[in-house]
Amino acid sequence: MKWNSIRTKLIVFMLIASVVPIVATMFVTYYYTTSSLKARAAHEDANLLYQGQRNIAGLLEDLNRSSSTVYSNTELFRLLEAGYEDVQSNSRVYAAMSYISTSIPDIYQVYLYESVNHKATLVTLNTPKRNYDTALFKDALDKNDRSLFVQSTHMSHSYGFAKLQPKYPSEPVFTLHRRIERVPSSEVIGYLSIDVKYSAISDIVEQLYKKDQEQMYIIDNEGFIVYSDAEEKLGQPVQAAWYRNHILNTADNKGSFEEDNNVFVYQRLQAVGADWTLVKQVPVSYLNREANQAVGINLLLLAFSLIIIVIATILISIRITSPIKQLGKYMNEIQIGNLNVDIKPSSNDEIGAVMVRFRGMMDTINNLILQEYKLELSNKTNQLRALQAQINPHFLNNTLQIIGTLALELNVPRIYALLSALAKMMHYSMNNEDKIVTLRDELEHVKAYIELQKERFENRFDFRYDVEESLLDTPMPKMILQPIIENYFKHGINRTKTDGLITIHANVWKNEQVEVTIQNNGVMIPENKLEHLQTELNNFTNPGVTRPGDAEKDAGRLTIGLTNVLARLQLVCGENASLTITNLDPVGVMITLIFANISSKAGHEEE
């Protein structure tokens, strides 16, 4: 083979031009693949850990509910308060503890200490033991003085009792400790400890990783191991550098990092009495196993490609003109009007690229021809959807009226009244053209809403309103009063009483403004939440003040509704409109709205 021949030059050139890009592509692909695998693994593991922490939080919540039965079981609570000492009392205490021990399948034993008579009771797998005139077991006390906390995994013990039977050997457990107080005071009348088998956590965590390739840890806020593959590490402090460097002092609830050829993904769990962190450790070699396999396959493909390239280079001189002739035939077909000619590239060289571009150009031309038809079809579809969106709510409203008529025919007027109230609310909310309504309209909407709530709460409350006749036609934004009253049913109503009361009072305030007060005798807002609400409302009307964080979540949801009401009120009635919220003594909440009578203002301007 002569160097000066075109064939030799083509072979050498094709080898260089093919091998170098392929090898470079392999390196780039390998790097990109490994990076994407790490990112994908971190994302998937983060989702797994999030689901795992929710499952564990659910387990802890079930355990918390089981422990709170010491308060809901009035008979047991009375015995703890009084400190009775007789066979019947002991039997009732044992029955209550047996109920707690069977409320969750994985509960190992329950320990109860009665402070009044210094008596301790231990129920292990339905086997009771009791000590009299004994001291509280030290593990039940929390150094941070919390009334509820979860102790990390440890080997079960007998809480100071004589060793249990051999059939109950010590095994790994974690413990929920609850301090029992004489509510509403903080006087301690007892302590409850519930040991839960380690398997309750391990059954959940083992679904989150592959034991033979990955590792999983649960670490509490003090750095002790709650879960690990190696049981000898349970309850021991974490000594690894990755924990000190990346997790110990971070404020993030979740994240991922890479250290010592391992990818770590963590998710914090903050549940009742527990502040844990789930950590998953995945070796980089395990993540890159697919990429390493791909490198081997690419090497085989590279060798095969070289053979193909050599053969193709030899044949290219003969077939070089064939694609050009084929392209000429396609152009002749298009010239005589056949725009749908099937253009098939016959090679991967420049001529093939020209054919591909030519085919793309023809596709673009055909698409432009069809574009107007598709656009017209899309417009018709959008019109149909808009018509359907308009018809469906009215159809539902009409259907409610038909059902109400049928209720009257069947002599069930209460159903008719409730359907009428619901239909009024739907009609009121569906009428989007009316952004400004009258106080009379708002009262009618509230009456319909109250009618439905009376049925829901079995007439446990009364509704009264006192509005001056001259104010009934006062214009105001739509949907102002109902969201405020709705908060009473969400947060304030006492379901155990039947003397609930909601009142609405409206009168003319100074400077021709209107004052509307909505008052109830429900549960008062806690002082810290009330302060948070007032701060949020003040900051809304004073944008220059820095807004606080979202720590008060319960108050935050209420603030969103009240802030929305205030925003719409100020938008329609002026920036001087205000909303205030206060607690009443001894019970109840009052919300006051003050806004300008825009109809009166408009009348003065016309004069």
In 3D, which of 250, 205, 208, 210 has the Cα closest to residue 225?
205
C-alpha 38/C-alpha 282 separation (Å) is: 9
User: What does the pLDDT read at residue 464?
Assistant: 93
- pLDDT tens profile 408-452: 767 777 787 787 777 777 777 766 566 788 999 999 989 988 888
CATH of domain 464-606: 3.30.565.10
CB count within 10 Å of CB 444 equals 15
C-alpha 254/C-alpha 198 separation (Å) is: 24
Class of domain 68-197: alpha beta
Phi, psi of 276 (to 5 degrees): -110, 165
Residue the block writes with tokens 């690229």: 353
User: What does the pLDDT read at residue 369?
Assistant: 65
Q: Could you tell me the two tokens for 64?
A: 């918390």
Q: Let me know: does 599 contact 470? Beta carbons within 8 Å.
A: no
Q: Is 469 exposed, middle or buried (0-12, 13-18, 19+ CB in 10 A)?
A: exposed
CB count within 10 Å of CB 418 equals 20
User: What does the pLDDT read at residue 110?
Assistant: 94
- Indicate the domain borders of the chain: 68-197, 464-606
Percent of the chain beyond pLDDT 70? 80
Higher pLDDT, 450 or 392: 450
CB count within 10 Å of CB 121 equals 20
User: What does the pLDDT read at residue 233?
Assistant: 87
User: What does the pLDDT read at residue 547?
Assistant: 40
- pLDDT tens profile 1-14: 456 554 466 667 76
Which H or E element spans position 194? strand 187-197
State the DSSP string of 274-337: EEEEEEEEEEHHHHTHHHHHHHHHHHHHHHHHHHHHHHHHHHHHHHSSHHHHHHHHHHHHHHTT
Task: Report the SS3 class of residue 74.
Answer: helix
Q: What average pLDDT does this structure show over 497-516?
A: 89
| Mean of per-residue pLDDT scores for the chain | 80
Q: In what order do the strands lie in the sheet with 262-271?
A: 225-227, 215-220, 274-283, 262-271, 254-259
Strand partners, 121: 112, 130
User: What does the pLDDT read at residue 503?
Assistant: 95
CA distances from 381 to 180, 205, 390 (A): 65, 50, 14
User: What does the pLDDT read at residue 607?
Assistant: 47
C-alpha 268/C-alpha 582 separation (Å) is: 37
Task: Report the SS3 class of residue 193.
Answer: strand
User: What does the pLDDT read at residue 397?
Assistant: 63
- pLDDT tens profile 65-90: 999 988 888 888 888 888 877 888 88
- pLDDT tens profile 221-245: 889 999 998 888 888 999 888 998 8
Query: Where residue 314 falls among pLDDT bands split at 50, 70, 90?
Result: low
464-606 has the same fold as 68-197: no
Percent of the chain beyond pLDDT 90? 22
Q: Is 227 exposed, middle or buried (0-12, 13-18, 19+ CB in 10 A)?
A: buried
Q: Please tell me the pTM assigned to this model.
A: 0.47
Residue 93 exposure: Cα atoms within 13 Å on the Cβ side:
29
Q: Let me know: does 263 contact 288? Beta carbons within 8 Å.
A: no
Residue the block writes with tokens 């694609």: 323
**What is the bridge-based pairing of β-strands 500-509 and 461-467?**
parallel
Taking each helix axis from N to C end, the angle separating 87-103 and 74-82, rounded to the nearest 10 degrees, works out to 130
Q: Let me know: does 69 contact 95? Beta carbons within 8 Å.
A: no
Buried-state track 246-267, b at ≥16 Cβ within 10 A, e below 16? bbeeeeeeeebeeeeebbbbbb
Task: Report the SS3 class of residue 205.
Answer: helix
C-alpha 247/C-alpha 74 separation (Å) is: 44
